[in-house]
């Protein structure tokens, strides 16, 4: 297993377009997280899944954002009608179910909305 | 509300000097605490973690951190800085009730 994989690594899109990112977690990990990181800030929690169930969504997550993890394996994060303020690094992480275990992060997808 | 505060967004030390990065947590329940490091153009990786037991925890690359409940702190230290330590460091808490909460990060610069 090569760790958490995110695709694409970079995405440039025009304002108003929809974009979709994919995350492939470490295979035996039940938990999957999405975070957003802007320049000079720490990652902000967006949402997380335990297996296929989306257990929590941040209030930061507007209705233009949707995430799925259909079979409890890979996950997708879609942003509809992108805005310039959506430009950020989108990070995915996965972990085992227990709270005190390490979360492994992917290298992220950098979104630029022009 | 649960939050993590990192004092100092930028810290600069000389090579060979002590590194001290400060972190205070705020949690209504005893948290699990982590330090993650992010090197330029790389993903976040775990430096060390505190769960239960010994309050002084050692991590990779000579870093260590001490959990002090009375001060709600989890400061990160390294006796002697190396040029390769230059990176961004994040203090993180996990209360088990929601996903990880990150501090805003501290960028460490190491001067030759």
| Least-confidence region, from A34-38, A46-50, B1-5 | B1-5
pLDDT exceeds cutoff 80 at A19: yes
pLDDT reported for residue A13: 98
pLDDT exceeds cutoff 70 at A58: yes
Q: Alpha helices, DSSP H only, in A46-103?
A: none
pLDDT reported for residue B95: 67
Q: What is the DSSP string of A52-68?
A: TEEEEE-TT--TTEEEE
pLDDT reported for residue A39: 85
- Picking from B43, B45, B104, the nearest residue to A41 by CB comes out as B104
Record: contact B96-A99, CB cut-off 8 A: yes
Q: Considering only CB atoms, which residues of chain B are within 8 Å of chain A? A: 6, 9, 32, 34, 36, 42-46, 49, 51-52, 90, 94-96, 98-105
pLDDT exceeds cutoff 70 at A99: no
Write down the residue that tokens 């409940």 correspond to: B69
Residue A66 pLDDT level (bands cut at 50, 70, 90) = very high
pLDDT reported for residue A14: 97
pLDDT exceeds cutoff 60 at A1: no
Which of chain B's residues have a Cβ under 8 Å away from the Cβ of A57? none
Gap between the Cα atoms of A32 and A6, Å rounded: 12
Average pLDDT of the residues in A91-114: 88
- Could you report the per-residue pLDDT of B53-84, keeping only the tens digit for each? 888 999 999 999 999 988 999 999 999 999 99
- Percent above pLDDT 70 for chain A: 96
Record: contact A105-B101, CB cut-off 8 A: no
- Could you report the per-residue pLDDT of B10-43, keeping only the tens digit for each? 999 999 999 999 999 987 666 789 999 999 878 8
Q: Is residue A18 within 8 Å of A81, Cβ to Cβ?
A: yes
Give the residue among B57, B26, B88, B67 at the shortest CA–CA distance from A105: B88
Q: Is residue A48 within 8 Å of A56, Cβ to Cβ?
A: yes
């Amino acid at each position: 297993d090569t760790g958490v994989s995110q695709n694409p690594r970079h995405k440039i899109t025009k304002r108003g377009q929809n974009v979709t990112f994919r995350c492939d977690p470490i295979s035996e990990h039940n938990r999957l997280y999405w975070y957003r990181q802007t320049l000079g800030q720490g990652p902000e929690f967006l949402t997380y899944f335990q297996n296929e169930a989306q257990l929590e969504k941040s209030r930061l997550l507007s209705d233009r954002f949707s995430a799925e993890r259909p079979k409890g394996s890979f996950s997708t994060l879609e942003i509809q009608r992108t805005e310039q303020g959506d430009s950020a690094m989108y990070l995915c992480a996965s972990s085992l179910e227990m709270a005190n275990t390490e979360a492994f992060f992917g290298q992220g997808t950098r979104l630029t909305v022009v | 509300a649960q939050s993590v505060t990192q004092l100092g967004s930028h810290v600069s030390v000389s090579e060979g000097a002590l590194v001290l990065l400060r972190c205070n947590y705020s949690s209504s329940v005893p948290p699990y605490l982590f330090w993650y490091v992010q090197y330029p153009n790389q993903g976040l990786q775990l430096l060390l973690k505190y769960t239960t037991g010994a309050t002084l925890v050692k991590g990779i690359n000579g870093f260590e951190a001490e959990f002090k409940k009375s001060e709600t702190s989890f400061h990160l230290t390294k006796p002697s800085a190396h040029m390769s330590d230059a990176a961004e460091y994040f203090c993180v808490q996990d209360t088990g009730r929601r996903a990880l909460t990150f501090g805003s990060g501290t960028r460490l610069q190491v001067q030759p």
